Amino acid sequence: MKSTVQTALAISLLTLGAGLAQAQTLRPVIYSSIGGTPTNAVPAPIGGTFDQGNTNAFLLFRASPDGTKWALLMRRTNAGGDYVILRGTESGVTRVIGAGDALPGGLPNLNTGTGSSRGLILTELSINNAGDIAFVGVTTGTPKFVLLKNTISGGTSVVLKSNDPLPGLINAPGGTPAPGTLSNTSFFTFTGLQMQENGKVAFQTTLINDAGSGGLSSFNYSAAYRNSAETAADLLNQQGCTPVAGASFGYLFVHSAASFVTTPDASQWALRGTQFSGSNNPLTIKDNTKIVEFNDPMPVEVGGSVAVTGANPFLSHAGDWYSSPRSTNGLFGLIKNGTSVLTKGGDPITPGNTETWVTDRSFAVLVGPGSNYIISNFTATAPTAPADIRVLVRNGTEVVARSGDKADLNNNGIDDDNAVIKSFSVNDGALAPDGSFWVTAIVGPSLTATSTGQVLLKIPAPVVTPTGCNPADIACDNGDPLASNPGCTNSNLGPNEGDYNAFFAAEGFFFQAGQGPAGVGGTCDIACDNGDPLATNPGCTNNGVNEGDYNCFFNNLFLPCV
């Protein structure tokens, strides 16, 4: 056994804690739209650069449910500013399709224009575990809109075309069959895509055309389908016709465009709209059962009743639903499965934190497999600058990213790129099974300066650090962090020289302190910000490695195992 350290490093902590409390995390960048940086290059063999200076160069990002593959709809720098879909796998990046490309089956080519003539719908993209990608193309002729899928082995194929017939439609509740076709005029012909694991596609459609004497009207011209709408049984909900259990007026009068979400296999789904009633009361449903309705009582933690059902619903892979309605008392809540209030406007962003959520904006949540979730909203206090501060919080307890973090555009580990993250687009994110997630962000020289471009980031998974016999027992006797050497020799008498050496190693306390919130879960993250050992104060404020960890380490370094 190595001898126990008898003296501690003499460091003044009068300014250490204050200096580290607001540390800004330097975040590695996967891709960027900032010219002159290595991350601006579109990977080979595609080539070129991501549209330089464009804050919407990464139009949409999606990851597979198992987190092993991804799809990126992006804009490239050239005279036409063409749109391209990339697929990323463990073996590299490939080009899937782009504006101007030919389509199978003798269909017109994808358009090469921009704006309303662009060749790809910029809001629709989905990828499954096999790497199959669903997307919507805009052609140069008729049909105008085409629902397409691309597989790694089979290339691009047509799922449905605008003006194709749709099965299962009726002309009124309990009425007779009403032939209808997909719209050839609406950009919402195909929305809410889910590339199912069975290789078929779930989607929502609006403005169904009346194809005969069945009598489709404005009361029943929207629908949601799964399994590529192959049979009448694949119709999930038809506007104004499909009964909704528990809803006051029984039906959705209007489907909100692009509000359809499903689980990865499309066995469960949710949809938002207004009720079949002159009052147009907002209603959100799951599997044709009401989950949130206008005037419903809010959970007691929020108070009041539902005034606005909020943004689109969110579904985890297991089918848990999340919604952010606004109460009649003005507060927005983030509610899981109707009863569990994860947080609300005015609450601390993490337990014990002095920074609080704004009260007047709805929450967004990024969900995936398991129990992990990411909360996103703005805070009522802006400790780093007089600007809107968006904060991302994992599982309600850990700040994992925030406006003011820095983007490492050249990935050299040095803050030398003059790129401050101003805001995040969580709706473009994807939560992996390990709790890591991809997200796009807007950057500029400062929080209040003009934006200079966009970046794609991956926020790492939480680090689970093995615990020693007391808070200062962070390493093996040879100085290896316990997390890096499971089963190593570790004295049962208490901390010793190995722990001291690990604490002050090159990647120890001072390195982790410089990481800000990203240091949470690191080897030296042993305490709350107030110095309490994490094990004795669960849910405490912990913003990373700082003075609290330093004090906790030396308060326990000379104590025996407990």
Distance CA 88, CA 542 (A): 35
Question: How confident is the model over 411-432, as a mean pLDDT?
Answer: 87
* Least confidently predicted of 39-48, 120-129, 160-169: 39-48
The residue among 455, 421, 453 whose CA lies nearest residue 438 is 455
Report yes or no: 321 and 315 within 8 Å, Cβ to Cβ: yes
- pLDDT category at 484 given cuts 50, 70, 90 is confident
Share of the chain above pLDDT 90, in %: 49
| ∠ Cα 268 274 277 (to 5°) | 125
Contacts of 305 (CB under 8 A, 6+ apart): 295, 296, 297, 298, 327, 328
The per-residue pLDDT for 173 is 85
The answer to whether residue 109 scores a pLDDT higher than 90 is: yes
Task: State pLDDT tens for residues 346-386.
Answer: 999 998 888 899 988 899 999 988 778 999 999 987 655 55
Give the pairing type, strands 406-408 and 26-28: parallel
In which band, very low, low, confident or very high, does the pLDDT at 172 lie, cut at 50, 70 and 90?
Answer: confident
Burial 448-463 (b: 16+ CB within 10 A, else e): eeeebbbbbbbbebbe
Whether residue 45 is preceded by a cis peptide bond, meaning omega within 30 degrees of 0, is yes
Q: Which pLDDT does position 430 carry in this prediction?
A: 82
Predicted confidence at residue 8, as pLDDT, reads 29
- What pLDDT does residue 81 have? 62
Does pLDDT of 213 surpass 60? Answer: no
Give 281-300 pLDDT, tens digit per residue. 889 999 999 998 888 888 88
User: Stretch 538-559: mean pLDDT, rounded?
Assistant: 89
Question: Between the CA of residue 13 and those of 16, 162, 483, 502, 555, what are the distances in Å?
Answer: 5, 67, 27, 19, 14
Mean pLDDT of the chain: 85
pLDDT at 5: 29
Q: What is the pLDDT of residue 211?
A: 66
Tell me the mean pLDDT in the region 462-486: 81
Strand partners, 322: 314, 336
Of 14-28, 74-88, 336-350, give the lowest mean pLDDT range. Answer: 14-28
Question: Which pLDDT does position 306 carry in this prediction?
Answer: 84
Asked if the model's pLDDT at residue 19 lies above 90, the reply is no
Going by C-beta distance under 8 Å and a sequence separation of 6 or more, which residues neighbour residue 496?
A: 1, 2, 3, 4, 5, 477
Region 463-468: what's the mean pLDDT? 63
Residue 557 has pLDDT above 90, yes or no: yes
Q: How far apart are CA 21 and CA 516, in angstroms?
A: 7
d(CA 76, CA 100): 13
Q: What is the DSSP letter of 136?
A: E
Q: How far are the Cα atoms of 127, 147, 204, 258 from residue 135, in angstroms, in the given order?
A: 9, 6, 13, 14
Alpha-carbon span 210 to 207, nearest angstrom: 9
Residue, of 146 and 256, whose pLDDT is higher: 146
Strands of the sheet containing 92-98, edge to edge, are 58-63, 70-75, 83-89, 92-98
Beta strands (DSSP E) in 383-449 are: 390-394, 398-402, 406-408, 420-431, 437-444
pTM exceeds cut of 0.75: yes
pLDDT digits (tens, 9 = 90+) for 221-275: 899 999 999 999 999 999 989 999 999 888 888 888 888 999 999 999 999 988 8
Q: For residue 116, name the pLDDT band (cuts at 50, 70, 90).
A: low
Beta bridge partners of residue 461, listed in sequence order:
none
